[in-house]
Amino acid sequence: MKTIIALIILCLSFNSFSQNLSPEFNTPESSALIDSLSHYLTTLNSKENAVDITAEYWDTSKIKIDYNTEEKFPLHIQFKDSNYISPISRSKVITSRYGWRKGRAHKGIDIDLITGDSLFAMFDGVVRFANYSSGHGRTVVVRHHNGLETLYAHLSRYGVKENDTVVAGSYLGKGGTSGNARGSHLHLEMTYKGIPVHPESLLDFDENNNVRAKDLWITKTWTRPELHNSKRQSHLEIFSTEEAAIASMNKPARVYIVKKGDTLSRISSRNSTSIAALCKSNHMSRNSTLRIGQKLIIE
């Protein structure tokens, strides 16, 4: 704090002094110096006033944390920048999506890579977890300043440890096949205060590395894997205002009328949902017999 105050006084004094100088002394170099000092002061102040993201619910021994709070939907997630840093240096090929897979929830996306590929932090943050986890293998979890955490699983080597501060693009480790992985890939999860959010509802995973919007309102639909199919991309609904998100949440469910030749698989595919979601919404099992004319709720 003393350093900041001293620099403020110095900057103000120099600025006042330079204004009283004759034109030949009021040079671009002196203006540049003032600008540099001002920028440095702004940076120091932002660091001084930054929220300590390790102050609450910080546990380096657990891969997932129970926040013991009930979040109100829609969730409001904000991003500082319009872009993120890709977690891998090669093209991002998604081999399995967020959704229902083989009778269980797949709470992230799988991105193809070669064992030994470097992995990078997508945003600034602090490493909360860097350890082995059953199923995920070698895993790194980074907490970010907007409440999100990104999880990078199946690593072959760590490049960071718990409590390390990272910036977007920082090296996290090497990709691999540790844990329950069939072939080398990065399993990437994104959670907001413990809630698993569909990564593709937040980010575009093409070569441009765009954030969907700086201000995002996430409805419950995008936090329930059973409503999505891991084999195909869900129809995206991006809400940049709270009003639009609430209107979507209050929208009545769609009704599908069963036709000749329909199966649960075919209906789920055509309506961008999962068989599990159909069964749950309609109180039926995967083996239930469909009747022509039967009405099914599509959430």
Helix axes 28-48, 2-19, angle to 10 degrees: 160
- Indicate whether 179 pLDDT > 90: yes
pLDDT tens-digit series, residues 235-263: 899 999 999 999 998 877 789 999 999 99
Q: How confident is the model at residue 27 (pLDDT cuts 50, 70, 90)?
A: low
Lowest mean pLDDT segment, chosen from 6-10, 48-52, 103-107, 130-134: 6-10
User: Would you call the peptide bond into 74 cis, given omega within 30 degrees of 0 as the criterion?
Assistant: yes
Q: How confident is the model at residue 24 (pLDDT cuts 50, 70, 90)?
A: low
* Of 57 and 35, more confident: 57
> For the CA atoms of the chain, what is the radius of gyration?
25
Please name the CATH architecture into which domain 75-248 falls: Distorted Sandwich (2.70)
Q: How confident is the model at residue 277 (pLDDT cuts 50, 70, 90)?
A: confident
CATH class of the domain whose range is 254-298: alpha beta
The domain locations on the chain are 2-48, 75-248, 254-298
**114 Cβ partners below 8 Å, 6+ apart?**
90, 175, 184
pLDDT tens-digit series, residues 64-116: 998 988 889 999 999 999 999 999 999 999 999 999 898 899 999 999 999 99
Q: How confident is the model at residue 5 (pLDDT cuts 50, 70, 90)?
A: very low
Lowest mean pLDDT segment, chosen from 3-12, 151-160, 225-234, 280-289: 3-12
* Of 18 and 249, more confident: 249
pLDDT of residue 254: 85
* Of 203 and 281, more confident: 203
CA distance linking residue 74 with residue 264, whole number of Å: 29
- Identical fold at 75-248 and 254-298? no
pLDDT of residue 276: 87
Tokens of 266: 């075919």
Question: Pseudo-torsion of CA 121, 125, 131, 137, nearest 10°?
Answer: -40
- pTM, two decimals, is 0.75
CA distance linking residue 130 with residue 164, whole number of Å: 10
Q: Centre a 10 Å sphere on the Cβ of residue 262 and count the other Cβ atoms it contains.
A: 17
**260 Cβ partners below 8 Å, 6+ apart?**
292
pLDDT tens-digit series, residues 288-299: 999 999 999 887
pLDDT of residue 269: 86
pLDDT tens-digit series, residues 122-148: 999 999 999 999 999 999 999 999 999
Partner residues linked to 76 by β-bridges? 217
pLDDT of residue 52: 95
DSSP 85-139: --SSSS---EEE-SEEETTEEE-SEEEE--TT-EEE-SSSEEEEEEEEETTTEEE
pLDDT of residue 37: 52
Q: Which helix (H) or strand (E) covers residue 191, if one does?
A: strand 185-192
- Indicate whether 1 pLDDT > 90: no
Judged by DSSP in three states, 229 sits in strand
Mean pLDDT score of the chain, rounded to an integer?
Answer: 87
